[in-house]
Structure 1
Amino acid sequence: MSSLEVVIEDARGCARLFRLGRDVEAGLAMVAVVEAAQPFVELMPGDVQSSWGGLLGLMFNDQQAQNWLSLADYLEYELVELLTAGQAV
């Protein structure tokens, strides 16, 4: 399993934690996911990097609003799509 695949699997695991209502544990896991994803994003084209910034903003807003289901969706679907699309470029 590549490093990127590990980040993707961790993002999905974090999303599961949010869906189970384990928001404190998931919040800590999310910090690790974002930190692990950042180096991959920095190597991607500028449009992916700007999408990353927008996605982080949306995720932060959901975290502030305690909208765990929406945050889980961003982690499981949008983040994974961004990382895999950025690798394909």
Structure 2
Amino acid sequence: MSQLQGLVDDARECARLFRLGRDVEAGLAMVALIESAQPLVERMPGDAPSSWNTLLALMLSEQQTQNWISLADYLEYEWVQLLTADQSI
């Protein structure tokens, strides 16, 4: 399994945890996910790093307001789309 596919799978699992209301466990998983993805995103071309920062700000805002469903959607859809743009996984 590639690193990218692992990140996508982890993001989807983290989203699932948020949807199940397991916010503490999901929050810890999200921190690990962000730390793992950061080096990959920094090497991406174009405006990916800027989009990454915007997405992180939105996700952290949702986490602060405890909007777990919206946060899960960001992880499962926006995060995955950002990581897989111009990729085939």
The alignment's TM-score, normalised by the length of structure 1, stands at: 0.94
How large is the Cα RMSD of the aligned pairs?
A: 1.1
CA distance in 2, matches of 1:84, 1:69: 22
CA distance in 2, matches of 1:70, 1:77: 10
Structure 1 partner of 2:82: 82
Structure 1 partner of 2:40: 40
Deviations 1:39-69 (A, max 9, x none): 1101102401100000000000000000000
CA distance in 2, matches of 1:32, 1:13: 12
Q: Which has the higher helix share?
A: 1
CA distance in 2, matches of 1:69, 1:79: 14
**Is the partner of 2:79 in helix, strand or coil?**
helix
Q: Percent same amino acid among aligned pairs?
A: 70
Task: Identify unmatched segments of 5+ residues in structure 2.
Answer: none
Question: Is contact 1:44-1:87 (8 Å) kept?
Answer: no
Question: Is contact 1:42-1:49 (8 Å) kept?
Answer: yes
CA positional deviation for 1:86: 5.4
Runs of 4+ that moved beyond 2 A: none
The alignment's TM-score, normalised by the length of structure 2, stands at: 0.94
Structure 2 partner of 1:58: 58
